[in-house]
Chain A
Amino acid sequence: MTIETTAVQAAAPATGETVTMTYSEAVRDALRIAMAQDPNVFIMGEDVGTYGGAFGVTGELINEIGPDRVRDTTISELGIMGAGVGAAMTGMRPIVEIQFSDFTAQAMDQIANQAAKIHFMLGGAVNVPMVIRAPGGSGTGAAAQHSQSLEAWFVHIPGLKVVMPATADDAKGLLLSAIDDPNPVMVIEHKLLYKTSGEVRTGDIRTPLGVAAVPREGKDLTIIATGVEVSRALEAAEILAADGIEATVVDPRTLKPLDSDTILRTVKATGRVLLVQEAVRTLGFMSEVSAIISESDAFGYLRAPIKRLAGLDIPIPYAPKLERASVPQVEDIVAAATDLVRKW
């Protein structure tokens, strides 16, 4: 074996206990567990080694696992992605880190034309069990080329699965499920969430792909939100509750495959729905959710028109005030929800 095997401590079984950790530590915990379980799992990307990742996600993993499986690359997104595809087709389980999700544009041929299509196009003869981790979203002052929310691009390509973890526990559980999956899975993390903390189940846990979370239930309206907007929706729900409005909050967690059942069930229960995404409005993911609701029997339960809150149709600007104004904030959610409930 040419693998420089550094002993990796076997993953502890799930115990049902939780521990407080940051979203970024939770991602690292998942990487550590997956690499301990399977010698074919490895991560590669720009500066994931000694540097520890642009957002510090891989941290000191290179010291625990070694440079073979925590593999630094040149600045070559297309080459890295292609190498991931080739490795995945031949028995490995690569995790490719793309430093900012915006840079997937550099790698798009290998994502859209290769990874996504190979299984289908080759008649099922080959699988591409690859995970692409890429931080998305605005709020860091990094401007238009480092702040986009591009999830709709990937949802629009059959053959890819797309997940957007909104909590530390989901960052761990969804990533482990993505690594298990025999298909290419795009995991869009959010850079504002990396430093947030939450209770995370310890040991070898999973959050299944294709199952939405309902972190809050209320009778007056259903707020469906993704990524960083989930925590904003929950904060808004607290404020709304003080004003006597009880909101259900749904986090789809997996955009493809989508848990439409949970969405429709919760929409029917409240009869009002507010859809919140950070991505630009036009043809965003929530446009699809809106269409799914409209085409279903939940339509008959609606007491108000479906309302979308989304990013403005603009590139993300640099100045803090402008950046903040570009995407839905807590107060926007409170206002839109109040409007929906009071007017209808």
Chain B
Amino acid sequence: MNTQIVANRELAASSLATMWKIRRFEEAVEDLYGRGLMHGTMHLSIGQEAVPTGACLALNQDDYITSTHRGHGHCIAKGADMERMMAELLAKETGYCRGRGGSMHIADTATGNLGANGIVAGGVPIATGAALSAKMRGTKQVAVSFHGDGAMGEGAWHEGVVLAAMWQLPVVFLCENNLYGMSMSSEKAFNLEQLSDRAKGYGIPGVTVDGNDVQAVYDATKEAVDRARAGGGPTFIEAKTYRWRGHSKSDKNLYRTRDEIDEWRGKDPIPLFEAQALAAGGLTQADIDSVRDNVRTELRSAVQRANAAPDATADDLLSAVYAR
């Protein structure tokens, strides 16, 4: 029996804080972009916060993750600093990538985050490689490959899973099925009852869970991670969730209905978690208010400090291409 997160004051508070950080960070990004104060493009994961929150709770700091173009949540849940993330998006020298990567390429090796990825399924075989490295070096580290349902149409996904299954590597392939690969519905795309049915074809365990339920995601990830650490090889997890916002800024939502979006907004993982924590006695209403307020203050200060940082400089671009 795993820890019941909502009944444990410390875990409940930190999980709720993680979800709020992701939500507030992305709302701030959306706002800055909308007001013309942020450059480029970004992909928001608002509505999906429970997946990285529950999954990263099952990981150690030195466990690896690979992430996606929709990666702010993974980054924050694994422990990244919101100020440095915001600085990156604001094209500052103090950003995680010194303004050379932006939203789609934030990594934080100190917390085991090997990076978001602009290529769908690009991180899947990289996670396999990180797990291979952990196994060869004889550490007990595990790698989690966060990816979307869209990645399951890519050859890289297939090859990454094939190698991991053959070598029985300590890796978890965690699909955030937010029901659409850009505009392609995953129901239409894959002739499967559930995406985890595919795991059997690769000879690895597969499970589908409610991706808006932190506990369900945590339980599935914990089981997979424990198995991986014990030498039991890879697992596939499908966490069903929903992206409230468009794919990116060009999205006119022509492929889904307002009713569908509203239905999923009704399944918002944050109030769901708050209600569970209240009922289980893990958090009081005062705790919940305080978590929310603290995150708001922390985020506001992160944005202010990031904004005040010096712009990224073009001075040493040529010498930055190769490591020395």
Contacts and interface: CB of A to CB of B under 8 A. Distances in A.
Contacts of B118: 113
A123 B97 contact: yes
B105 A121 contact: yes
Contacts of B322: 119, 159, 161, 182-183
Interface string B201-217: 00000000000000000
A125 B136 contact: no
Contacts of B96: 122-123, 125
A82 interface: yes
A87 interface: yes
Contact of A123 (B95, B114, B117, B127): B95
Contacts, number: 156
Given A123-B97, A126-B114, A83 B119 contact: no
Contacts of A159: 321-322
Interface stretch (B38-46, B159-167, B191-199, B247-255): B159-167
Contact of B105 (A68, A74, A76, A122): A122
B70 interface: no
A130 to B, nearest CB: 9
Nearest to B101: A121
Nearest to B128: A83
B129 A82 contact: yes
Interface residues of B, number: 48
Given A3-B138, A92-B136, A127-B323, A82 B119 contact: no
A320 interface: no
Nearest to B137: A91
A119 B323 contact: yes
Nearest to A2: B138
A46 to B, nearest CB: 12
B124 interface: yes
A81 interface: yes
Q: Looking at A77, A82, A91, which has the most chain B CB atoms within 10 Å of its CB?
A: A82
Interface in B58-101: 64, 66, 95-101
A68 B163 CA distance: 14
Given A74-B163, A78-B156, A90 B134 contact: yes
A131 to B, nearest CB: 14
Contacts of A80: 125, 159, 163
Interface string A46-72: 000000000000000000000011000
Interface in B131-159: 131-138, 143, 155-156, 158-159
Interface residues of A, number: 47
Nearest to B145: A86
A118 B264 CA distance: 36
A1 interface: yes
Interface string B148-192: 000000011011101100100000000000000000000000000
Interface in B256-299: none
Contacts of A92: 132-133, 136-137
B122 A122 contact: no
Interface in A1-54: 1-3, 40, 42
The list of the 10 closest CB pairs from A to B, nearest first, reads A86-B129, A82-B125, A79-B159, A123-B97, A83-B129, A1-B138, A123-B98, A86-B126, A76-B159, A182-B323
15 contacts: A40-B136, A73-B163, A77-B159, A78-B156, A79-B158, A82-B159, A83-B129, A90-B133, A91-B137, A109-B119, A110-B122, A122-B100, A125-B96, A182-B322, A182-B323
Interface of A: 1-3, 40, 42, 68-69, 73-74, 76-92, 94, 109-110, 113-114, 118-127, 129, 158-159, 161, 182-183
Given A123-B98, A125-B107, 16 more contacts: A1-B138, A76-B162, A78-B156, A82-B159, A84-B129, A86-B126, A87-B130, A88-B129, A90-B134, A109-B119, A110-B156, A122-B96, A126-B115, A158-B321, A182-B324, A183-B322
